[in-house]
A and B are shown apart, each in its own frame.
Chain A
């Protein structure tokens, strides 16, 4: 019996069935990739190594035809094996996203090592320059970015749009909705959230600015906004929760959108006296009509860009009705009229000096 065990052990060592070597001192798990457009349709892909060891950081960059080729080439220029198992974020340059990113998404999705919780981020500017500058001062720049995204992903926090690979793909495959992704503006020093980018199929179609972004966060997925600024009326509302009801009428020609906002006024720098109930009512009315106008504008913008990131198309589905085709919905969506109403529930003011 002993001989059998010994011989089989020797035999096991001789031709180990496990080919992958994952010894931690020999590999370098990467947590981010940044993909930009290279010359002549190539991809420029960069990564930061090592992500957490206390060693000098460096950026590896390769110009390649294929995404995975980049992953392979990193190994040729670095003393550890670069592994994608811990990949958490993919930063895609805006210009590349405008050309379509299906192939990238498919590649990421096929790899069983890569989690579907992978964050997709669109960047406007050179992400590599930012990281290069960061590694001079930061120990773990990649991890800090991950914490940032993770923080805002939590629950229904409506400060940023955070999208992972699965969410992107699910919307991409659905005929009645279009994917979204956060877009960040980067330069050497800064990494600033710019707003939400709207996709049509896999192509970046348009993105929205700060003002519209606020509205988008409010009406998409019933978010919670800690701060809602309204500079036009010199008001800041705080702790705003929203509840959106969307309804298409029977012939799908009008979309009724009702948003219920709850919150409190936290700042007022206008000339009126908000402690006066009459004047407060006027301000309420002003906020309502302003939001109604801005929301309608945002919806029109989506309509003009032929995107449906709010998944309005899914309203056409019913348990007992035949689903319409993608083309049918896009024709309908182009002609939908909007009827936006806001309901405002503002908590009474306290501690306000008359």
Chain B
């Protein structure tokens, strides 16, 4: 482990990596809970509509990747906003990144805790997960991006597990009716917001511009990734509807894992444990990237970007995040609903909408596109 090489760029990555990254970052955690929030069959259309909206965002991100400025990394941002503003933005960004880490971790830990290790103190899980992510992140940015291949192939096959549910003996087409909402009040903007934020994640990838091969046309890969995500969400949702029917669906907290638990194999009893463990791959991938971004942002804020990145600084950041996560977790332990979880829905929705647009507008104003 050479900490000095954390942000070293030895290779650039092609479109296929972008595809993996966009797709996996959209799948993080929320895929497990989305069906029980959508509930009604006609939300299929909402899912598709939001997917199309998300596609517009993909176009913006592709534009950003194709601009010269994105490959310059920090210098590019300085060119856009000026040094002082970048520092301020990086400072604000710290909170967003922390919130993202916090909520993804807590969500994941909750799933593991309630399904695999109910008797285990969740703090241990947070510690273990963070430890693994620290290791993954300490291999540097290049390796963290490379890791997405493992994360993708480790978890993308899971969609195959759901195929048997399309042919169950007791499901029927009636479970997908009505396809048009009879009562429009049930389609609330909150549900739409929830879907929108579930698709968020790729917006942070604007910071890995320097590692992206600029010669490739990215829009193709981004579109493909977004479409794949929409399909994955759709499959999970339709299958959950067929399996539970909509009256029953919102009773389940983690419908997707409940579905998997129902599967039977001659060898393994608890196949859901494997599924959740495989999901850890892309959790680790995503969080290790966030750690790196967090540390990067800290360096920008403290104005030490020109010095070598060092191990002590990185581990200090990690400990900071760990301690704040544990403190916040303890803090909100007493309250029923974790307010940060709800806030996160807003934050994610906001960043997904805001970051690509904001960057593009800034570029336009400087006349760089």
Contact = CB atoms under 8 A, between A and B. Distances in A.
Interface of A: 17-20, 85-86, 112, 115-117, 156, 166-167, 169-170, 173-176, 221, 311, 314-315, 317-323
Q: What class of interface size applies to chain B in its complex with A?
A: 20 to 34
A19 B178 contact: no
Given A112-B115, A319-B178, A319-B179, A314 B172 contact: yes
Interface string B271-295: 0000000000000000000000000
Interface string B235-262: 0000000011101100100000010011
Interface of B: 114-115, 117-121, 124, 169-170, 172, 174, 176-180, 182-183, 243-245, 247-248, 251, 258, 261-262, 264, 269
A18 B174 CA distance: 44
A85 B180 contact: no
Nearest to B182: A322
Nearest to A324: B182
A311 B177 CA distance: 14
Given A170-B244, A174-B248, A318-B177, A86 B172 contact: no
Given A86-B269, A174-B247, A318-B178, A116 B258 contact: yes
A173 B170 CA distance: 14
Contacts of A221: 169-170
B119 A19 contact: yes
A18 B179 CA distance: 46
Nearest to A106: B251
B180 A319 contact: yes
A169 B150 CA distance: 38
Contacts of B182: 321-323
Contacts of B264: 117
A317 B261 CA distance: 29
22 contacts: A17-B120, A18-B119, A20-B119, A86-B269, A112-B261, A115-B262, A116-B258, A166-B243, A169-B248, A170-B248, A173-B247, A174-B248, A315-B174, A317-B177, A318-B177, A319-B178, A319-B179, A320-B180, A321-B182, A322-B182, A323-B177, A323-B178
Contacts of A314: 172, 174
A115 B265 CA distance: 13
Given A173-B247, A322-B182, A317 B174 contact: yes
A320 B45 CA distance: 13
A207 B248 CA distance: 26
Contacts of A116: 258, 261-262
Nearest to A313: B174
Contacts of B248: 169-170, 173-174
Nearest to B120: A17
Contacts of A112: 114-115, 118, 261
Contact of A18 (B117, B178, B261): B117
B247 to A, nearest CB: 5
Contacts of B183: 322
Contacts of A322: 178, 182-183
B132 to A, nearest CB: 15
Given A19-B119, A112-B114, A173 B261 contact: no
Nearest to A322: B182
A176 B172 CA distance: 13
Contact of B261 (A115, A167, A323): A115
B269 A115 contact: yes
B262 to A, nearest CB: 5
A320 B115 CA distance: 38
Contacts of B177: 317-319, 323
Nearest to B258: A116
A170 B183 CA distance: 23
Contacts of A19: 119-120
Contacts of B178: 317-323
Nearest to A320: B180
A319 B91 CA distance: 50
Contacts of B169: 156, 221
B33 to A, nearest CB: 16
Contact of A320 (B120, B179, B243): B179
Contacts of B176: 319
Given A86-B269, A318-B178, A319-B180, 8 more contacts: A20-B119, A85-B269, A112-B114, A167-B170, A170-B245, A317-B177, A322-B182, A322-B183
